[in-house]
């Protein structure tokens, strides 16, 4: 009975040396019993055999208790890892609120979720070794997703970059105040489009960006939204995406950045710089190819207030909330 209980408890997996000792002791006890049984009745002495089997029971019972404790410890350790794993997944998914998660992040998160479910089922079955291996694979998926997120957002921690964005925004607002004109300011991280007239904020709307909208546009097809100081060059009362305002991307700064990126191998050899970047309607939740999308009712307001020549400044951020910065740093610091 005790040997069966140890087998069912997977003693050969969790405590093989001790289990091997138990089996040897049990085998030795069985031989002693057989030897006594082989003697003539009046020569038999079962007391030493009884004591030996008592010791075997003590040994087996202690081994069962040890295995139970070990399983409890392993289950708690894996449960803790799974909880931390889940928190990391939730953090990544939370950070994707600040950008349209790309295919690599989605794939890594999906694979991590699958591994997490597999590991939990294995823990319930007390298959801890296999659960640990599956969880290792899931954690590798999480690290991949974290690195992708950190790579995308790390420049938002760059004080020099933030200073440049703030300066561009302030210059545009100052132009509006000094010249009494209307200007448009787009904050990509906040996903907001603000309209200033004579330096005063008069309208603010939620916007949508492309799949890689938080990245700075480098070439045609990268689905990123450009950053810099632009002007509206054409108004379209009717277009593919409702009303639209075409900006003068690429400007000279964009062309210089494109040339540097191509020289450094950061863009495909056959890539062109692209163009046709608009502020348009069609809804903020529709993924654009690098344009800035608004709800149609909001686009009506923007369209009516803008003119050819209106300044449009697009920045990554004006500042960074401490909570956002802390989350990005967690991604950067993960092994």
pLDDT, tens digit, for every residue of 259-283?
Answer: 888 888 888 888 888 888 999 998 8
Nearest to 128 by CA among 72, 89, 85: 72
Mean pLDDT computed over 29-47: 81
pLDDT score of 92: 82
Q: Per residue in 48-81, pLDDT tens?
A: 878 888 887 888 788 788 878 888 888 899 999 9
Nearest to 167 by CA among 325, 322, 317, 320: 317
Q: Tokens standing for 240? A: 């593919």
Position with higher pLDDT, 115 vs 213: 115
Nearest to 207 by CA among 277, 152, 279: 279
Q: Per residue in 140-173, pLDDT tens?
A: 998 888 888 877 777 887 888 889 999 999 999 9
Nearest to 240 by CA among 205, 201, 289, 273: 289
Whether the predicted pLDDT of 318 surpasses 70: yes
Whether the predicted pLDDT of 95 surpasses 80: no
Report the length, in residues, of the chain: 335
d(CA 148, CA 101): 10
- What is the β-pairing status of strands 192-197 and 311-315? unpaired
Mean pLDDT computed over 101-130: 86
d(CA 277, CA 246): 6
Give the CATH number of domain 159-325; options: 2.40.440.10, 3.30.70.270, 3.30.990.10, 2.40.50.140: 2.40.440.10
Nearest to 228 by CA among 298, 312, 140, 143: 312
Exposed, middle or buried: residue 283 (CB in 10 Å: 0-12, 13-18, 19+)? middle
Q: List Cβ neighbours of 123 (8 Å cut-off, separation of 6 or more).
A: 75, 78, 79, 82, 131
pLDDT score of 101: 56
Whether the predicted pLDDT of 100 surpasses 70: no
CB 212 within 8 A of CB 100: yes
The most confident of the ranges 40-44, 93-97, 272-276 is 272-276
The most confident of the ranges 98-102, 114-118, 176-180 is 176-180
**Which of 81-85, 98-102, 281-285 has the weakest average pLDDT?**
98-102
Q: What is the DSSP string of 36-87?
A: HHHS-GGG---HHHHHHHHHHHHHHHHHHHHHHHHHHHHHHHHHHHHHHHHH
Whether the predicted pLDDT of 335 surpasses 60: no
For the CA atoms of 275, 238, 233, 256, the dihedral, rounded to the nearest 10 degrees, stands at -10
Instruction: Assign 12 a pLDDT band (cuts: 50, 70, 90).
Output: low
Position with higher pLDDT, 52 vs 95: 52
d(CA 104, CA 152): 12
Q: Per residue in 196-255, pLDDT tens?
A: 999 999 999 999 887 778 788 888 888 889 999 999 999 999 878 899 999 999 999 999
Q: Tokens standing for 259? A: 């040339």
pLDDT score of 57: 80
pLDDT score of 329: 64
pLDDT score of 29: 80
pLDDT score of 10: 67
Whether the predicted pLDDT of 257 surpasses 80: yes
Nearest to 36 by CA among 53, 21, 24: 53
Q: Tokens standing for 136? A: 């290792």
Instruction: Assign 287 a pLDDT band (cuts: 50, 70, 90).
Output: low
Residue matched to tokens 């607002």: 173
Q: What is the DSSP string of 283-298?
A: -TTS-BSS-EE--HHH
pLDDT score of 322: 44
Whether the predicted pLDDT of 34 surpasses 70: yes
Instruction: Assign 291 a pLDDT band (cuts: 50, 70, 90).
Output: very high
Radius of gyration from C-alpha coordinates of the chain: 34
Phi, psi torsion values for 191, nearest 5 degrees: 55, 55
CB 149 within 8 A of CB 215: no
CB 117 within 8 A of CB 124: no
Position with higher pLDDT, 118 vs 11: 118
Q: Kindly report the average pLDDT of the chain as a whole number.
A: 85
Mean pLDDT computed over 97-104: 65
Sequence ranges of the domains in the chain:
2-154, 159-325
Q: Tokens standing for 50? A: 């009884």
Mean pLDDT computed over 98-123: 83
């Amino acid at each position: 009975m005790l040997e069966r209980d140890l087998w069912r408890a997977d003693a050969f997996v969790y405590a093989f040396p001790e289990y091997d000792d138990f089996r040897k002791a049990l085998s030795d006890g069985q031989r002693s019993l057989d030897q006594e049984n082989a003697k003539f009745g009046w020569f038999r002495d079962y007391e030493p055999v009884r004591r030996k089997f008592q010791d075997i029971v003590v040994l087996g019972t202690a081994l069962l208790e040890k295995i139970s404790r070990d399983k409890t410890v392993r289950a708690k350790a894996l449960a803790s890892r799974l909880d931390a794993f889940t928190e990391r997944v939730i953090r990544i998914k939370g950070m994707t609120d600040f950008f349209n998660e790309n295919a690599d992040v989605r794939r890594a998160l999906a694979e991590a979720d699958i591994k997490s479910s597999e590991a939990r089922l294995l823990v319930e079955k007390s298959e801890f070794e296999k659960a640990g291996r599956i969880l290792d694979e899931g954690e590798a998926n999480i690290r991949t997703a974290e690195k992708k997120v950190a790579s995308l957002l790390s420049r938002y921690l760059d004080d020099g970059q933030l200073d440049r964005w703030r300066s561009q925004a302030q210059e545009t607002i100052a132009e509006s105040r000094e010249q009494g004109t209307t200007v448009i300011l787009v904050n990509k991280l906040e996903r907001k489009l603000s309209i200033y007239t004579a330096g005063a904020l008069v309208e603010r709307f939620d916007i949508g960006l492309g799949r890689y909208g938080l990245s700075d546009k480098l070439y045609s097809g990268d689905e990123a939204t450009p950053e810099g100081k632009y002007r509206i060059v054409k108004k379209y009362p009717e277009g593919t995406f409702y009303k639209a305002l075409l900006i003068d991307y690429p400007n000279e700064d964009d062309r210089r950045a494109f040339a540097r990126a191509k020289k450094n191998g950061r863009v495909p050899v056959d890539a062109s710089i692209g163009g046709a970047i608009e502020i348009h309607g069609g809804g903020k939740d529709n993924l654009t190819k690098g344009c800035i999308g608004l709800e149609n009712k909001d686009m009506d307001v923007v369209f009516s207030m803008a003119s050819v020549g209106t300044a449009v400044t697009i920045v990554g951020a004006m500042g960074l909330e401490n909570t956002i910065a802390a989350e990005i740093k967690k991604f950067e610091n993960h092994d």
